[in-house]
């Protein structure tokens, strides 16, 4: 499947021309981030939890403490809504009403199941590599005690859509003659210089995974 079908859940209704349903666009947005917000309902109460993730095909991997409320409930197969958003800019119009934001977002729906013990290691590696490529091979591998204390879930993407806004502000025709500045204030996620752990031995150099950010 190269495109997700439009349903009452995933169809973009507000400004539908910004909606995208093809896997290429959706996967690119997912792969550009590593922080998602997971929505679910337990005993009639809604919860939205921020968490790290990794993607492999049409599966999103989530992990956390074995006693986590989110993971404990999600592995029972309750409906899940996961969102990822990248803020690309503040769109400053001539009128307050027409201010907006440039963004790329994905909303997906599915159900999760617990990853088998045999596959847990690989799933954790996928999550780690999505956060910082190359770091998994540089760090100590999780031991059996740590693996036992960690639950990993595989969230199958059943339905999904992306929504994207880009470009300059769109003002009312009568406002274009107003002497008010309008445009876009771009926003980018970036790192600063690495901060060495004060307990690190002096002879240990920066690892390959961190050097590109210097």
pLDDT at 214: 85
**pLDDT digits over 50-81, tens only?**
999 999 999 999 999 999 999 999 999 999 99
pLDDT at 202: 87
Answer yes or no: are the C-beta atoms of 70 and 49 closer than 8 Å: yes
- Where does 16-171+180-213 sit in CATH, by number? 2.30.110.10
pLDDT band at 96 (very low <50, low <70, confident <90, very high): very high
- Report, as an integer, the average pLDDT of 154-162: 98
Q: In whole angstroms, what is the distance from residue 144 CA to residue 14 CA?
A: 48
In order of 25, 33, 154, 186, 208, the CA distances from 18 in angstroms are: 12, 20, 29, 19, 38
Return the percent helix, strand and coil in the chain, to nearest 5: 25, 35, 40
pLDDT band at 21 (very low <50, low <70, confident <90, very high): very high
Burial class (CB in 10 A: 0-12, 13-18, 19+), 13: exposed
Domain range annotation of the chain? 16-171+180-213
- Buried b or exposed e, range 101-134, using 16+ CB within 10 angstroms: ebbbbbbbbbbbebbeeeebeebbbbbbbbeeee
> What pTM, to 2 d.p., does this model score?
0.93
Nearest in space to 31 (alpha carbons), one of 106, 88, 90, 103: 106
Strands (E), the chain: 19-20, 35-42, 45-52, 54-56, 59-65, 80-92, 100-114, 150-165, 183-186
Q: In whole angstroms, what is the distance from residue 25 CA to residue 84 CA?
A: 13
Answer yes or no: are the C-beta atoms of 85 and 101 closer than 8 Å: no
């Amino acid at each position: 499947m190269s495109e997700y079908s439009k349903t009452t859940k995933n169809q973009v209704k507000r400004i539908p021309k910004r909606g995208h349903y093809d896997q290429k666009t959706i996967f690119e947005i997912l792969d550009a981030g590593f922080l998602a917000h997971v929505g679910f309902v337990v005993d009639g109460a809604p919860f939205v939890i921020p968490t790290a993730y990794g993607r492999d095909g049409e599966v999103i991997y989530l992990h956390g403490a074995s006693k986590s409320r989110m993971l404990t409930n999600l592995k029972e197969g309750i409906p899940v809504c996961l969102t990822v958003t990248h803020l690309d800019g503040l769109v400053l119009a001539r009128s307050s009403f027409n201010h907006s934001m440039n963004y790329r977002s994905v909303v997906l729906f599915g159900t999760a199941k617990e990853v088998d013990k045999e596959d847990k290691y690989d799933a954790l590696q996928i999550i780690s590599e999505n956060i910082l490529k190359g770091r998994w091979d540089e760090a100590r591998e999780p031991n059996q005690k740590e693996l036992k204390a960690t639950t990993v879930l595989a969230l199958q993407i059943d339905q999904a859509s992306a929504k994207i806004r880009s470009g300059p502000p769109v003002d009312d025709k009568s406002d274009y003659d107003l002497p008010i500045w309008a445009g876009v204030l771009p926003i980018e996620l970036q790192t600063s210089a690495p901060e060495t752990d004060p307990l690190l031995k002096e002879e240990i150099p920066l690892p390959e995974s961190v050097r590109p950010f210097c």
